[in-house]
């Protein structure tokens, strides 16, 4: 009986101790990484006790917010240039930056059979609206412009652009029918290893600059165990297994 009570006491002390060491971590996350991050966050909390408090949006806007003093501890960017810039400017911790995923671009339509598997729909140019994220702020938008330029159709289709604030909004424009098709992240439309609803063309990586998505520990996250734990977790097999299901490479 005494042993049983002692065990309960030790268990209670462990729970209190774990709770005391747990932390809420505000992080900035590229919009294309929304779905996998939500799954990773749940697993991370179960494993470490730390709770992630993510904000999702465009990498370009996050840069401005971080420079203005936003309290993010970690940035999961949609590119590698922004984290490198933050590191150089002293807003990111030197040596903490690494590529957590390489994204894939897809031309997608909610309509079945609308987008062919070679992207010829772009050359036919019979659509009225083409959605893409602002190429000045969002790497996936820039990749879309790269693709159009490589195909020699940029000048012809540019007047039909429906420019979104970020990749999440670019997807929304297509999903709601405000644009017949658009450039989005593969992670937004992949289901069980293939494009789910609608039709799409996974753009060959040779047509756009590689979308290397880097993570960085920000100055406000320095010496925070939860931030260090997250960066370590993202490099682990569990997190990468989740990312793979959304089409990311490494």
Cβ density class 101-126: b for 16+ within 10 Å, e for less: bbbbbbbbbbeeebbeeebebbeeee
At residue 223, the pLDDT reads 93
Q: Nearest CA to 54 among 68, 64, 42?
A: 42
The reported pLDDT for the residue numbered 44 is: 98
Question: What are the sequence ranges of the domains in the chain?
Answer: 2-102+212-245, 105-202
In sequence order, which residues have a C-beta less than 8 Å from that of residue 187 and are 6 or more positions away? Answer: 32, 33, 35, 36, 103, 104, 246, 247, 248
- Rounded distance, CA 77 to CA 137, Å? 11
pLDDT at 183: 98
CATH of domain 2-102+212-245: 3.40.190.10
CATH: 2.60.40.10, 3.30.460.20, 3.40.50.300, 3.40.190.10. Which one for 105-202? 3.40.190.10
pLDDT, position 191:
84
Q: Provide the pLDDT for residue 121.
A: 98
Instruction: State the 10-residue block means of pLDDT for the chain, 250 residues long.
Output: 44 41 91 96 98 95 97 98 98 98 98 97 98 94 97 98 96 98 97 90 97 98 97 98 96
Query: What does the pLDDT read at residue 5?
Result: 52
- Alpha-carbon dihedral sign for residues 18, 21, 27, 30: negative
pLDDT on residue 137: 86
């Amino acid at each position: 009986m005494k042993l049983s009570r002692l065990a309960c006491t030790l268990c209670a002390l462990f729970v209190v101790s774990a709770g005391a060491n747990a932390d809420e971590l505000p992080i900035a996350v590229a919009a294309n990484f929304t779905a996998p991050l939500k799954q990773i966050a749940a697993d991370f909390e179960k494993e470490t006790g730390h709770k992630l408090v993510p904000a999702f949006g465009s990498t370009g806007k996050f840069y401005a917010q971080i420079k203005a003093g936003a309290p993010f501890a970690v940035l999961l960017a949609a590119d590698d240039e922004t984290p490198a810039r933050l590191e150089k400017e002293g807003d990111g911790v030197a040596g903490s930056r690494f590529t957590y995923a390489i994204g894939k671009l897809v031309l997608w339509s909610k309509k079945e059979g609308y987008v062919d598997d070679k992207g010829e729909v772009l050359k036919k140019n019979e659509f009225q609206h083409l959605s893409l994220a602002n190429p000045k702020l969002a790497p996936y938008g820039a990749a879309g412009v790269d693709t159009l330029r490589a195909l020699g159709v940029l000048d012809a289709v540019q007047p039909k652009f429906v420019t979104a604030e970020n990749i999440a909004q670019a997807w929304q424009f297509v999903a709601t029918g405000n644009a017949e098709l658009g450039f989005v992240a593969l992670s937004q439309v992949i289901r069980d290893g293939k494009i789910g609803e609608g039709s799409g063309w996974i753009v060959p990586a040779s047509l756009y600059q590689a979308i290397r998505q880097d993570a960085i520990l920000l100055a406000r996250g320095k010496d925070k165990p939860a931030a260090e734990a997250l960066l370590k977790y993202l490099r682990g097999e569990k997190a990468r297994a989740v990312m793979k299901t959304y089409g990311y490479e490494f």
